[in-house]
Every structure is written in structure tokens, then in C-alpha cells.
């Protein structure tokens, strides 16, 4: 990926969703984890806001999404992800399996990064996809052993992965400027 604006948007978007996942992790973690989840949430939010500033100040720079085909692929991927996440969450809740909603959503989000790899020409998104899918698969086995909600394990794993990719976006941004 060669677009400085897209690197800035990585910081913004991955920072925002890291913040969201760390928030979801606070559903039922161990009490001593809450302080660290709060710190991680705050760091993710600050990174998101800094990324937004960088995005705004570089808005006229080229973007992979300037190409109509890339933008269409991006929108299809995101809308499909939202629909599949929503349907799956609805079905899980109806079947009284709401504890599996967080892993389900992490799984679908992970899969959507496979498609976005081609939109942004960024093979690193395969790594993010693998991390999120692995976290989604592992959380239902790890959470009971730790006596926490699946969302705690999923949120920490997804939040940390996305925070790492937000930081990677920041490094790429400053390497491109």
C-alpha cells in the first residue's frame, strides 16, 4: 500500500475499532483487568483521534479508494460484513447463545479483511484476518477456563490486534511522508 492518506485512515479506523473491542472486553473480565482495559481503551481512542487529524490534514492525498472499483469492493465488503454480523448475532441471541456474539463478530470481521487485502493491496491484512479468526476460535475455549465472558477474551485479543495495526499504520504513515 503506497498511499499516505490510507495509512492515516488505518490509524483512525483500527484505533477506533480497537477502542470498541476493548470496551466490549469490559462486559465481564476479571476485576483486576478493568484498569488495564481502561488504559488500553484510552490509548486506542487517542490513536484514533490522532489518525483522524492526520487523515484530515492529508485528505487531498491519493487513496486506494479513489478508484471506483476499489471503492465498490470496499463498500461491498463492509456492507456484507455488517449484514452477516447482524444476522448471526440475531440468531445467536434468539437461540440463547448471546455469549457467542463477540467471537462471531470477530470471526466475520477477520474474514472481511481477506477481501480488503485486495482493495488496499496490503498483504498485512491477511495477518490481521488470521489473528481475528484465531481469537474468535480460541475465545470460547479460553474464557471458561479464566471464568470470564467470551467477550472479555475476544475483546482483549481483537482490541490488541487492531491497536497493533493502528500503530503499524502510524509507522507506515511517517515512513511515507
Res 92: pLDDT: 98
DSSP state of 58: T
Percentage of residues in the chain having pLDDT higher than 90: 88
Res 85: pLDDT: 98
Task: Using pLDDT thresholds of 50, 70 and 90, give the confidence band for residue 99.
Answer: very high
Contacts of residue 42, Cβ cutoff 8 Å, sequence gap at least 6: none
Res 56: pLDDT: 97
pLDDT at 118 over 90: no
Cell readout for 110 is 477477520
Render pLDDT for 32-57 as a digit per residue (tens, 0 to 9): 999 999 999 999 999 999 999 999 99
Distance CA 55, CA 141 (A): 39
Res 2: pLDDT: 81
Res 1: pLDDT: 67
Indicate the burial class of 123 (C-beta count within 10 angstroms; 0-12, 13-18, 19 or more). exposed
Render pLDDT for 136-166 as a digit per residue (tens, 0 to 9): 999 999 999 999 999 999 999 999 999 999 9
Average pLDDT on 156-177 reads 96
Average pLDDT on 114-143 reads 95
Q: How many CA atoms lie within 13 A of 107 on its CB side?
A: 16
Average of per-residue pLDDT values in the chain: 95
Amino acid at each position: 500500500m503506497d498511499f499516505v492518506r490510507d495509512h492515516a485512515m488505518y490509524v483512525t479506523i483500527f484505533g477506533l475499532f480497537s477502542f470498541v473491542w476493548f470496551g466490549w472486553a469490559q462486559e465481564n473480565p476479571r476485576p483486576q483487568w478493568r484498569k488495564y482495559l481502561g488504559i488500553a481503551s484510552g490509548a486506542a481512542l487517542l490513536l484514533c483521534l490522532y489518525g483522524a487529524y492526520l487523515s484530515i490534514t492529508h485528505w487531498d492525498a491519493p487513496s486506494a479508494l479513489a478508484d471506483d472499483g476499489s471503492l465498490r469492493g470496499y463498500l461491498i465488503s463492509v456492507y456484507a460484513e455488517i449484514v452477516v454480523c447482524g444476522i448471526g448475532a440475531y440468531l445467536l441471541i434468539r437461540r440463547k447463545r448471546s455469549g457467542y456474539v463477540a467471537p462471531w463478530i470477530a470471526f466475520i470481521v477477520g474474514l472481511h479483511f481477506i477481501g480488503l487485502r485486495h482493495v488496499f493491496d496490503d498483504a498485512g491484512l491477511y495477518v490481521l484476518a488470521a489473528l481475528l479468526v484465531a481469537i474468535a476460535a480460541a475465545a470460547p475455549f479460553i474464557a471458561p477456563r479464566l471464568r470470564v465472558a467470551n467477550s472479555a477474551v475476544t475483546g482483549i485479543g481483537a482490541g490488541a490486534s487492531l491497536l497493533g495495526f493502528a500503530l503499524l499504520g502510524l509507522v507506515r504513515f511517517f515512513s511515507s511522508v
